[in-house]
Structure formats: structure tokens, C-alpha cells
Structure 1
């Protein structure tokens, strides 16, 4: 008996596979548990239509994500770090700092999606990848600059 699987089953097949199984297996297990439907013309056409609709939706969603990633890749984030002698940084720039900086610019990014292998511990410009859904990656430029010390206000009211 030919059936169309409604879900992925180990040892049998994947979702949407058109497989030939023994009549007893289909009647006693697959069909009553709604794990498969009989492969008649109507069911095959409806499944093909559902597959096309899902593919179109996935394509549209991926285009939206790629557009968002392109927009995110244009962002240059400037992080001010406190430095000591010989421009040696105190502390480091972490994923949390990058996520907060992006949030200030209006981009909500889950900090677990920011692919920073180790915290940034030096001044300079770095490209940090940000993972997005559907295997899309955006690259954010992070500039780490020296924090400008505020000039002490001159007190002339003595």
C-alpha cells in the first residue's frame, strides 16, 4: 500500500515521503495513529500544494531576514573603554556590551546569537558575526575607542 508520511519516523521515512509499506502496517499502525495518509490522487495533490505554500513562505521569510541582516551589517558600534598606561584596557568588551549597544541603536539582538569567540581586550576595529535564523549571518563592526576623560570644570567663582 502506498502512503504519504505525515511525520518523520525512524526506520520508515521522513515527512512527506511517498513510501510503499505492507497493508497490515499501514492499516493497523500508520493510518489509525495519523502518521500517514493513503496515497491517492487527492492526498498527493493537497500535499504537493501544502509543500509549495510552505516553500514560498520560507523563501519570503528568508528574504526578510536577509534584508534585516544587510541593514544590521551597516551598523558600526562604537564602544568607549577606559584605558590606562600604554593604551592598555581595563576590563574588556563582551557580548553583553555589544548587545546593549545594538539595543541603544534600535536593534534587538539576543546576545547568545552574537558570535564573539573571546572578549575584546584591545583598542581597534573588529567585525563580529551575528547569527540569524535560516542560516543567515550579519557582520557588525565594533570600534573600541579610548574613553575621553571629561575636562574638570574651572571654578572661577573664588
Structure 2
């Protein structure tokens, strides 16, 4: 099955990439979750639009990604969330919350889709979160949940 990706999918590619996958994977996972659209000659025209939007969000160079990673290291990022008496949150800290907190702390504007949270953050305290800035560069954010 030939598909056009609309979002970043680990192991497959990024928005605008034309991929070939097994029928069941495409039909049952990628298309229903709107990670991809069916490839047609008409849909191929949308690739240019998707790639243009991707280029606007993309960090252009490796040097720029390293600069952003360095600026994230020294940044003190705090997120306030509602918690119980034991320190357990009534929910979880999301990638969107982290992106907003980084921007509020004076850091760079980061796309929430680039933030990788290993285990859900459901407790108060200090946590480390990885930000995939470039295929070769990953930065870490020290997050304090209060």
C-alpha cells in the first residue's frame, strides 16, 4: 500500500514522505489515526504543501540545533499542576505543557511533537525530558513539576 505521511512517524519518515507499507498496517493504523493519507496522483500535489509546512517548522542546520540544545541545558523550567497530598498529579504533564513552559522560561519556541517523554510524568519533583531537535542532535530539559 502506498501512502503519504502527514505527521512524523518513528521508523517510517516525516510529513510529505511517500512510503510503501503492508496493507493492514496502513489501513488499520496509519490512515485511521490520520498519520497518513492514501497516495493518488491528486494527493501527490499535496506533498509540496506538506513539505513547505514541514520546512517552516524544521530546524534548518546542525549548528542551529546544537545552539538550541545548549540553550536548553541551562534553562530552569517549571510546570505547575494540580496534585494530591502524596504528590501524585491529577493527570499527567503533556508535551504541550512542557513546550509552553520552556517558552515561558525564556527558552526557544519548541514544537511539541519533538518532545519525547519516556514515562508519563505523574508526580511532582524533578524530571528530565528529551527534545529531538535534529536527527543527530537531542537536547535535555530539566523540568520541575510543582
TM-score normalised to structure 1 length: 0.49
2:130 matches 1:129? yes
Distance 1:76 1:119 in 2: 20
Structure 2: 5+ residue stretches without partners: 1-60
Which residues of 2 match residues 50-129 of structure 1 at below 5 A?
A: 61-104=61-104, 105-129=106-130
Structure whose residues are more often strand by fraction? 2
Residues 97-118 of structure 1 deviation map (CA, whole Å, 9 limit, x = unaligned): 0011112224211111001134
Runs of 4+ in structure 1 deviating by more than 3 angstroms, as ranges, are: none
Larger Rg: 1
How many pairs are equivalent?
86
Secondary structure of residue in 2 paired with 1:143: strand
1:82: Cα distance to partner?
A: 1.4
Aligned-partner Cα distance in 1 for 2:101–2:67: 21
Contact 2:65-2:134 within 8 A present in 1 as well: yes
- Contact 1:88/1:122, CA 8 A, preserved across alignment: yes
- Cα drift, residue 133 of structure 1: 1.8
When normalised by structure 2's length, the TM-score is 0.53
Cα distance in 1 between the residues matched to 2:85 and 2:134: 42
Q: CA deviation at 1:135?
A: 1.1
Deviations, residues 25-78 of structure 1 (Å, cap 9, x unaligned)? xxxxxxxxxxxxxxxxxxxxxxxxxxxxxxxxxxxx323321221111221211
